[in-house]
């Protein structure tokens, strides 16, 4: 009987949110290492660690767990260890899929809390975790509503208010959720309501406030929609409303959608101490808002397209520094001009014109790139050292096999020697499989590297799919700047700013050449 091969063990650790301490992951890994030592009676020479920080366990859309799955599918593991099933996933469906992946790859799942995990654990713990999540949401909601009934504000207060710090209750505990009127900003709020009631358009009010230098919370400029949100917010008459929306996770994509709830599900209280606007002024503003909304044309239905629906979104800028986005007749226009009214550039350029100029600049830059091979070698340094270590281990095994073959020729115990040779050959085959799984591409000459980059960009220039182009842009991070042509009434100059260092280009080449799914770029 052949001796068993060394176990290939992986640890998975996760903590849920920014509220928890990041040291939670370190503690989980330390506990898992001790558990491995107790369970197998020895400390493994090498343990792979996969982790996800500040991410919910309600979905498998996490970088750490996805990389672990790739190693499982690549048959690179024998045992996966975690603190508990809930660290891997709190979803019944996701946990069942993950457990099936492990079972198909003949990988054991061990946890500190449950021991060796079986189908029974997955079903029962999955149901318990789902109930836990539901109960947790209800407890949080119930606690927040209770605090709200006591007069506290459990969400961010709008412009015109400030957070009161250092408040303690009768038991000496710090009290959160205390808000007070900010006198200076409250005057701005009253001015906005008064100007709108007098007939001033929301866009003009936003422009006037920006010229006064009034800063908005978490932003530098006011936009027309910010003014509308202020005018529609009953917080300014002391009416605090919760549960106007709910969050729902898509079971297929894992993305969270915000859904409006019907008014009968809203919960509201009145706090006169937080009133800034009188009832008379509020009613006058709401009457005008209703007239404006009635006259407005109905908005077209939203397209069922993901965010960043345009290829160049986030990479096109106006000369003033603001982003440009697609608006009139498929043209990229300045957001500062359209919303804040702080930029005079009302011109726009069509996407196909910008795209052609961008790729022309990218292709021209490739020809001027310095030697990239040395940078590639530096970035692959850890992988190269890992490959050398795997090669060394295979050489050592082959030397042992050769010595045993010589010993067999010299007349040692044949059956015992053959068993040892087969065991060593099995280890060598496993190492070779690992080396193939973790293989790095052959690093060619600098001329060949540039040729690969040029061909890839030339193909992407006419690529119809959005994602391949955006993947390239995410690595290279170009910046396209559009500015009015001086002396003309239309048209814009196009300036393309590209990365000055070689590393982004190297990472783009690595993305093109490196087919290993587990390697992050």
What count of Cα atoms within 13 Å lies in the side-chain half-sphere of residue 64? 21
Residue spans of alpha helices (H) in 81-172: 85-88, 92-104, 119-149
Q: Where are the domains of the chain?
A: 9-133, 161-295, 308-380+440-521, 381-437
Helix-helix angle 381-409:414-437, to 10 degrees? 160
Query: pLDDT class for 305, splitting at 50, 70, 90?
Result: very low
- Amino acid 22: pLDDT: 55
Domain 161-295 falls in which CATH fold?
Hect, E3 ligase catalytic domain fold (3.90.1750)
Q: What is the spatial distance between Cα 47 and Cα 182, in angstroms, rounded to a whole number?
A: 55
Question: Of 384, 387, 398, which Cα lies nearest the Cα of 429?
Answer: 398
Nearest one of 161, 214, 220 to 192, comparing CA atoms: 214
Nearest to 234 by CA among 308, 199, 285, 194: 285
Closest CA to 101 of 129, 60, 56: 60
User: Rounded to whole angstroms, how far apart are CA atoms 508 and 472?
Assistant: 7
b/e burial code for range 28-57 (CB count within 10 A of at least 16 → b):
bbebbbebbeeeeeeeeeebbbbbbbebbb
Can you give the pLDDT at residue 12? 94
Mean pLDDT for the stretch of residues 140-151: 71
CB 312 within 8 A of CB 355: yes
User: CB-hemisphere CA count at 13 Å for 240?
Assistant: 23
Residue 465: per-residue pLDDT: 87
Read off the pLDDT of residues 278-294 as tens digits, 9 standing for 90 and up: 999 999 999 999 888 87
Pairwise CA distance, residues 304 & 230, whole Å: 28
Q: In the predicted model, is pLDDT for residue 354 greater than 90?
A: yes
- Return d(Cα 174, Cα 168) in angstroms, integer: 4
Looking from the CA of 182 toward its CB, the CA atoms found within 13 Å total 13
Residues whose CB falls within 8 Å of the CB of residue 230, separated by 6 or more in sequence, listed in order: 158, 159, 189, 192, 236
Residues 178-223 pLDDT 10s: 788 889 999 999 999 999 999 999 888 988 888 888 887 777 678 8
Residue 89 · residue 52 · CB < 8 Å: no
Q: Looking at the predicted structure, is the pLDDT value of residue 277 above 50?
A: yes
Report yes or no: 438 and 516 within 8 Å, Cβ to Cβ. yes
Q: How far apart are CA 426 and CA 400, in angstroms?
A: 13
User: What integer best gives the mean pLDDT of the chain?
Assistant: 83
Taking residues 173-177, report their average pLDDT: 67
What integer pLDDT is reported at residue 102 of this predicted model?
93
Q: Going by C-beta distance under 8 Å and a sequence separation of 6 or more, which residues neighbour residue 330?
A: 350, 351
Q: What is the pLDDT of residues 453-512, one digit of tens each?
A: 999 999 999 888 888 999 899 999 999 999 999 888 889 999 999 988 889 999 999 888
**Strand 316-318 to 479-484 pairing:** parallel
135: pLDDT strictly greater than 70? yes
More confident residue, 266 or 83: 83
Residue 518 has pLDDT above 50, yes or no: no
135-149, 294-308, 396-410, 440-454: least confidently modelled range: 294-308
pLDDT for residue 390: 84
- Reported CATH class of domain 9-133: alpha beta
Counting Cβ atoms within 10 Å, is residue 397 exposed (0-12), middle (13-18) or buried (19+)? buried
Distance CA 300, CA 469 (A): 28
Q: Tell the residue number behind the tokens 């011109």, with chain if given.
A: 347
Q: How far apart are CA 429 and CA 426, in angstroms?
A: 5
CB atoms within 10 A of CB 394: 17
Largest pairwise CA distance in the chain: 108
Percentage of the chain lying above the pLDDT 90 cut: 30
* Cβ atoms within 10 Å of 192's Cβ, excluding its own: 27
C-alpha count within 13 angstroms, C-beta hemisphere, residue 316:
29
CA angle 47, 94, 30 (to 5 degrees): 25
DSSP 238: T
Q: Once rounded to an integer, what is the mean pLDDT over residues 363-380?
A: 89
The whole-number average pLDDT for the span 21-45 is 80
Q: For residue 336, is it left (φ>0), alpha (ψ between -120 and 50) or beta?
A: alpha
Confidence grade of residue 408 (pLDDT, cut at 50, 70, 90): confident
Answer for the pair 238, 272: CB distance below 8 angstroms, yes or no. yes
Q: Which residue has the higher pLDDT, 379 or 150?
A: 379
pLDDT, residue 18, reads 44
Whether residue 421 is predicted with pLDDT greater than 80 in this model: the reply is yes
What integer pLDDT is reported at residue 82 of this predicted model? 93
Q: Which residue has the tokens 């690093």?
A: 443
Instruction: Identify the band that residue 19 occupies on the pLDDT scale cut at 50, 70 and 90.
Output: very low
> What's the predicted TM-score (pTM) here?
0.59
pLDDT (0 to 100) of residue 294: 78
């Amino acid at each position: 009987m052949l001796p068993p091969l060394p176990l290939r063990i992986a640890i998975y650790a996760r903590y849920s949110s920014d509220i928890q301490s990041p040291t939670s992951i370190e503690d989980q890994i330390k506990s898992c290492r001790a558990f491995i030592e107790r369970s197998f009676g020895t400390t493994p020479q090498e343990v792979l660690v996969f982790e996800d920080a500040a991410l919910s366990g309600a979905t498998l859309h996490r970088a750490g767990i996805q990389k672990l799955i790739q190693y499982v599918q690549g048959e690179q593991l024998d045992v996966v260890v975690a603190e508990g099933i809930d660290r891997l996933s709190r979803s019944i469906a996701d946990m069942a899929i993950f457990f099936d992946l492990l079972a198909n790859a003949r990988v054991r799942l061990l946890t500190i809390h449950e021991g060796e995990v079986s189908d029974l654990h997955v079903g029962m713990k999955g149901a318990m975790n789902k109930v836990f999540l539901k109960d947790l949401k209800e407890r949080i909601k119930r606690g927040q509503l209770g605090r709200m009934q006591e007069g506290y504000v459990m969400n961010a207060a709008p412009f015109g208010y400030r957070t009161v710090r250092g408040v303690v209750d009768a038991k000496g505990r710090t009290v959160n959720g205390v808000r007070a009127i900010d006198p200076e900003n409250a005057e701005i709020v009253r001015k906005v309501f008064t100007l709108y009631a007098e007939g001033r358009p929301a866009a003009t009010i936003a422009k006037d406030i920006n010229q006064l230098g009034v800063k908005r919370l978490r932003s530098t400029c006011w936009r027309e929609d910010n003014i509308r949100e202020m005018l529609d917010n009953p917080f300014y008459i002391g009416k605090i409303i919760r549960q106007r929306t709910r969050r729902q996770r898509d079971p297929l994509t894992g993305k969270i959608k915000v859904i409006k709830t019907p008014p009968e599900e809203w919960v509201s209280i009145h706090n006169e101490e937080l009133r800034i606007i009188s009832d008379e002024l509020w009613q006058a503003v709401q009457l005008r808002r209703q007239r404006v909304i009635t006259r407005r044309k109905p908005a077209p239905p939203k397209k069922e397209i993901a965010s960043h629906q345009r290829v160049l979104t986030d990479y096109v800028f106006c000369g003033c520094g603001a982003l440009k986005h697609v608006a009139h007749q498929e043209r990229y226009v300045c957001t500062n001009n359209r919303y804040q009214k702080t930029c005079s550039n009302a011109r726009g350029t069509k996407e196909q014109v910008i795209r052609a100029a961008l790729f022309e600049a990218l292709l021209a830059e490739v020809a001027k790139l310095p030697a990239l091979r040395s940078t590639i070698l530096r970035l692959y340094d850890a992988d190269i050292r890992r490959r050398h270590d795997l090669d060394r281990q295979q050489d050592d095994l082959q030397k042992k096999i050769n010595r045993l073959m010589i010993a067999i020729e010299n007349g040692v115990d044949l059956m015992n020697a053959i068993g040892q040779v087969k065991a060593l050959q099995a280890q060598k085959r496993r190492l070779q499989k690992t080396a193939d799984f973790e293989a790095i591409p052959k690093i060619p000459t600098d001329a060949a590297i540039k040729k690969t980059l040029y061909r890839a960009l030339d193909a992407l220039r006419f690529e119809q799919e959005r994602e391949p182009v955006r993947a390239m842009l995410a690595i290279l991070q170009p910046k396209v700047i559009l500015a009015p042509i001086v002396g003309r009434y239309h048209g814009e100059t196009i300036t393309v700013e590209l990365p000055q260092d070689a590393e982004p280009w190297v990472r783009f080449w690595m993305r093109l050449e490196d087919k290993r799914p587990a390697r992050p770029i």
